[in-house]
Amino acid sequence: MITKLTIVCLCMTASTMVGLWNTKRKKSKVLYFDSCVKLTEKLIADISFRHENLFAILNEYAQTDKTELSRQIAKFGAAPYDRFEPDGKLLKAEEKRLVSDFFTSLGSSDAETQLYELENYNKRFYERYSEENEKFKRTGNVGLKLSVLLGLAIGILIL
Amino acid sequence: MRDRFLYCGKFKVIPKKVLEYIIRMVPYVLEKILPVSVLSALRNLRSDKLCELRLRSGGAVSVSYCGRYSYLTSGGIADKPEGALKLTEDDLKQIMLRACDKSLYAVNDRICKGYLTLDGGVRIGVAGETVFEGGAIKTVKNFTALNIRIPHEVIGCANKVEPYLFNGTRYKSTLIVSPPGAGKTTMLRDLARIAASRVEHNNVLIADEREEIAAVSNGKPSLNVGFNSDVISGCTKEYAFMHGIRALKPDIIVTDELCGKDDADAVENAVASGVCVFASVHADCCARLAEKRGFERLLKNKSFERFVELSERSGAGTLEGIFNQDFSPIRRGEPQ
């Protein structure tokens, strides 16, 4: 009996872990795009009012950020004059292109053009954020519940 | 022993090998912005003899080296453009992006005025396609040429003229006159240093519109302008003079490259307020000053009591003469 219960528990734990990992991945994408929106807002404010140096703004932001974006800022800072190519599996190809265009466009034009571009990226990042947030609300918790149930079902089937 | 060491002051000696290394060092700010090919070529030259780098989109790179123009090749310099290094339009854009730390928006107003000043007073003159909007230049794009000027701090170069500008109690307002590249800014900087380091305690205000005199970086002058000097940089002379006189109570104002009526008016107001002005202007010689627009009243009112004429005749900074306010010579030529 104890062996059977252990098998069921193991299956449930494993599937819950998978569910949690999936939920965290979706959540981190929401947080990532939320961070992108905040970064563009900071850039707009700091460029409009202080004409602050780009790396000073990015470094200041990266210190408070806990998402994938801070790692990307560090990567951009290491080779700022090359085309930026985001790595990792968090983003889809289309999203990577958006982020790549965003970083590459930074600091390459006059203030007016730069602010116009940033407003545009802010909108696009906000759209991605809303989309991912909606998706997370719809499927995030359900996915976790389903994975727990799936683990239970697998455990029972094994028995 | 004397062959291997350079004697510097009373006690210190610098090994000749170290000195040789220092002389060949490319200014660090250029290391940051120039392409590898140009940097490697520059390492074959002495940085103390290098005054200017002219980079043209699709054209041969030329340098002002040892007082004359030559073409830069991978092995050094050449008189003919064949075999000279060439840069593309993209290279020029990369240089500009590196020069502004990838923050073009932060320096666009200066680029619109045709230049960008870097750490250490290195100045990049910019040529390209201007974008006009509402009657004003909005930006410059598609850079076609860059002229990188490397300042040379020559401590003591103004020693030969300074005694003629000081009457024992105060300095006389002085205008340094020379064609471009003859050492006006270097002499002005050294005059500022001498005046701001005197025991009489002169408060020297440096109105550094193009940031070439003091080359302020992160709030500190990167060139020696004396310890009693205050620097207002990156603004018009009119603003620096007006606010400087009101707020900083200077004894002397030092400013570079007077140009047009507004600058002349600012100088006239300062002199009328009892402030001594050291300034410079582009002109062939003192006799041609009256032909410059905006200078008629300045000369008529005798705002400047001394004129120092420089040329490149025997290298940059050659003293042609010192004149009084009636253009009568006080001394001619270099001191013996």
Give me the residue spans of the domains in chain B.
5-149, 162-332
pLDDT at B18 over 80: no
Angle subtended by helix axes A93-105 and A68-78, to nearest 10: 50
Alpha helices in chain B (DSSP H): 16-24, 28-33, 36-42, 89-99, 104-112, 162-165, 184-195, 237-248, 261-272, 296-300
CA distance A107 to chain B (A): 4
List phi, psi (to 5°) of B124. -105, 115
A41, A33 in Cβ contact below 8 A? Answer: no
Q: What is the pLDDT of residue B271?
A: 94
- Residue B308 confidence (pLDDT) above 70: yes
Q: Name the residue among B221, B158, B232 with its Cα closest to residue B195.
A: B158
Partners of B233 in the β-ladder:
B208
* The residue type at B227: F
Token pair of B325 as six digits: 């306010």
Is the CB of A82 inside 8 Å of chain B's CB atoms? no
Task: Report the pLDDT value the prediction gives residue B85, as an integer from 0 to 100.
Answer: 95
Cβ separation A80–B105 shorter than 8 A: no
- Identify from A43, A103, A110 which residue to disrupt to test chain B contact, counting B C-beta atoms within 10 A and taking the largest count: A110
Q: Which of A52, A80, A110 sits opposite B138 (nearest CB)?
A: A110
**Which of A11-20, A35-44, B34-43, B136-145 ranks highest by mean pLDDT?**
A35-44
Q: Is pLDDT of A141 > 80?
A: no
The verdict on A48 touching B (C-beta cutoff 8 Å) is no
Which pLDDT value is given to residue A101? 95
Q: List Cα–Cα distances, B105 to A71, A83, A131, B113, B285, in angstroms.
A: 25, 19, 32, 14, 39
B104:A114 CB<8 A:
yes
Say which of B94, B103, B138 has its CB closest to residue A107: B103
Spatial separation of the C-alpha atoms in residues B187 and B155, rounded to whole Å: 9
Structural contact between residues B289 and B327, judged by C-beta atoms closer than 8 angstroms? no
Contact B100 A51 (CB under 8 A): no
pLDDT of B26 over the 80 cut: no
Checking if the pLDDT of B22 tops 60, the result is no
Chain B neighbors of A108, CB-CB under 8 A: 97, 102, 104
How buried is B115 (Cβ within 10 angstroms: 0-12 exposed, 13-18 middle, 19+ buried)? middle
b/e string for B291-330 if b means 16 or more Cβ within 10 A?
ebebbeebbeeebbbbbbbbbbeeebbbbbbbbeeeeeee
Mean pLDDT across the stretch B93-121?
A: 91
Interface of A with B in 87-106 (CB under 8 A): 106
Q: Note whether B102 contacts A114, CB cutoff 8 Å.
A: no
Distinct helix (H) and strand (E) counts, chain A: 5, 0
Mark yes or no for CB contact A107/B138 under 8 Å: no
Q: Are the beta carbons of A51 and B104 separated by less than 8 Å?
A: no
Q: Give tens-digit pLDDT for B33-85.
A: 999 999 999 988 888 888 899 999 999 999 998 878 999 999 989 999 999 99
Asked whether the beta carbons of B126 and B111 are under 8 A apart, the reply is yes
A32 to chain B nearest CA, in Å?
Answer: 24
Q: Are A96 and A86 in contact (CB under 8 A)?
A: yes
Count of A-B CB contacts under 8 Å: 50
Per-residue pLDDT tens digits for A88-125: 888 999 999 999 999 999 999 999 999 999 999 999 99
Alpha carbon distance B133, B112 (integer Å): 12
What pLDDT, on the 0 to 100 scale, is given for residue B25?
54
CB contact under 8 A, B138 and A112: yes
- Cα separation of B244 and A64, whole Å? 40
User: How many whole angstroms from its chain centre is CA A39?
Assistant: 13
Would you give the DSSP letter of residue B290? G
Helices (H) and strands (E) in chain B, counts: 10, 19
Contact A111 B102 (CB under 8 A): no
> Measured between alpha carbons, how far is B192 from B274 in angstroms, rounded to an integer?
18
Q: Which residue in the set B97, B138, B139 is minimally distant from A81, CB to CB?
A: B97
Which H or E run includes A17? helix A2-50
Residues of B with CB below 8 A from A111's CB?
Answer: 105-106, 108
Lowest-confidence region among A2-6, A142-146, B130-134, B232-236? A142-146
Give the chain A residue nearest B33 (alpha carbons).
A81
Confidence of residue B11 (pLDDT cuts 50, 70, 90): very low
CB of A80 within 8 Å of a chain B CB? The answer is: yes
Q: Is A52 on the interface with B (CB under 8 A)?
A: yes
Mean pLDDT estimate for chain B: 87
CB neighbours (10 Å) of residue B49? 13
The C-alpha of B105 sits at a distance from chain A's nearest C-alpha, in angstroms, of: 4
DSSP B17-71: HHHHHHHHPPPHHHHHHS-HHHHHHHTTS-GGGEEEEEEEBTSB-EEEETTEEEE
Report the residue of chain A nearest B103, measured CA to CA.
Answer: A107
Chain A residues with beta carbon closer than 8 angstroms to that of B104 = 107-110, 114
B1 falls in which pLDDT band (50, 70, 90)? Answer: very low
**Tokens 């990577």, residue located:** A96
User: Domain ranges in chain A?
Assistant: 2-158
Those residues whose C-beta lies under 8 Å from the C-beta of residue B189, and which sit 6 or more positions away, are: B153, B213, B214, B223, B224, B225
Q: In 3-state terms, what secondary structure has residue B255?
A: strand
Q: Which residues on neighbouring strands pair with residue B252, listed in sequence order? A: B204, B276
In the structure, what pLDDT confidence band is assigned to residue B10 with cuts at 50, 70 and 90?
very low
Judged by average pLDDT, the poorest of A18-22, B91-95, B227-231, B249-253 is A18-22
Q: Which residue has the tokens 């064949």?
A: B82
A109 interfaces chain B, CB cutoff of 8 Å: yes
Residue B273 has pLDDT above 70, yes or no: yes
CATH class of segment(s) B162-332: alpha beta
Contacts of B282 (CB under 8 A, 6+ apart): B178, B179, B180, B184, B257, B259
When computed from its CA atoms, the radius of gyration of chain A, rounded to whole angstroms, is: 21
Q: Position B128: which residue type?
A: G
Q: For testing the chain A interface, which of B94, B98, B105 should be mutated: the one with the most A CBs within 10 Å?
A: B105
Q: Using CA atoms, how far apart are residues B39 and B37, in angstroms rounded to an integer?
A: 6
Specify the residue for token string 């734990």.
A13
Pairing of strands B123-133, B204-208: unpaired
- Say if A47 is an interface residue toward chain B (CB within 8 Å): yes
